[in-house]
A and B are shown apart, each in its own frame.
With several copies, the nearest count.
Chain A
Amino acid sequence: MTARVGVVTFPGSLDDGDAARAVRISGAEPVRLWHGDPSLHGVDAVVLPGGFSYGDYLRCGAIARFAPVMETIVDAAQGGLPVLGICNGFQILCEAHLLPGALTRNQHLHFRNRDQILRIESVGTAWTNAFQPGQEVLIPVKNGEGCYVADTATLDQLEAEGRVVARYIGGNPNGSQRDIAAITNAAGNVVGIMPHPEHAVEALTGPSLDGLGFFTSVLKHLVGAPA
């Protein structure tokens, strides 16, 4: 049976179609979820896509956190449902307190879009088990508020527990503390990542195929490979 991976559309979501395409290319069935519908329609995992939910006018992700679908997702995530937040999705996960810390304005104050090398630091999550530890991957970043911040205690804890999932290599594009590009919760089922793996799944349109690993990881995870 093919896995069903939900992709949430908030008003202002932009990369939702791309996330659904990536799910399809990885071999799963994408299921579109609507912000106003609290039901997850029985999906096996959820992607919160990139974009500017609600215009990102107050703080990125601040308003989306209160969407009806998010209440269900927060509960399900606490129960172990794999959830991947990409860019705006990462911001929403932080705002919803599923992940610690916050994403703030890029330190150079500009939106930045570039092809970025990341090092996968943790392969123990539901979304990264298909990578090798320390593997370097090429994935586009594109964000205006991607600078990850948290207090020192939180950062130290993330490091100590192996919850820094990916780091920027060869230049930090937004000033993130400790070059953090992606983190996970303690259980490893919820991952937030600032770069866009869904834009690195086709040779024609992406800088690499490295993004596919995130989506195949969750399939592996769902068929029972230990996370």
Chain B
Amino acid sequence: MPRVVVDVMLKPEILDPQGQAVANALPRLGVSDVASVRIGRRIEIDFTGEPDLDRAREIADKLLANPVIEDFTVRLVEADETADARS
């Protein structure tokens, strides 16, 4: 059964201190070719029946993201695909 994935990221103009902290730590790991790091939320929603993208978009808009500071995308992903791909 496919699941719905909502990605929520801070708007580009909003400062992302977490991402910056990671970016600043990279040189210590010997990584110097990273231009920027942004950190947001990935939300996986499983529906009891057919996944409902419109419903998910509504949830994202009302609850999962704050439109003042965040953007979101909603998409369908094969559930086992995501699990398999994990290392």
Q: A residues near B, CB below 8 A?
A: 54-55, 57-59, 62-63, 66-67, 94-95, 100-102, 104-109, 149-151, 175
Can you list 22 A-B contacts (CB < 8 A)?
A: A54-B25, A55-B17, A55-B18, A55-B21, A57-B17, A57-B18, A58-B22, A59-B66, A63-B21, A94-B68, A95-B66, A104-B14, A105-B18, A106-B17, A107-B15, A109-B17, A109-B21, A149-B14, A149-B15, A149-B69, A150-B68, A175-B17
Interface size class of B (residues with CB under 8 A): 10 to 19
Residues of B within 8 A of A108 (CB): 17
Indicate if B39 sits at the interface (CB-CB under 8 A): yes
Partner of B22 from the list A57, A67, A150 (CB cut-off 8 Å) is: A57
Assuming the contacts A55-B17, A58-B22, A63-B21, asked whether A104 and B69 have C-beta atoms less than 8 A apart, the reply is yes
Chain A residues near B21: list those with CB within 8 A.
54-55, 57-58, 63, 109
Nearest 9 A-B pairs (CB), nearest first? A57-B18, A57-B21, A102-B68, A63-B25, A107-B17, A102-B69, A66-B28, A55-B21, A54-B21
Total CB contacts across the A-B interface at under 8 A? 55
| Interface membership of B64, Cβ < 8 A | yes
Any chain A CB within 8 A of the CB of B63? yes
Are A63 and B18 within 8 A (Cβ)? no
Q: Give the distance in Å from the alpha carbon of A57 to the alpha carbon of B17 in the complex.
A: 7
Compute how far the CA of A54 lies from the CA of B20 in the bound complex, rounded to whole angstroms: 10
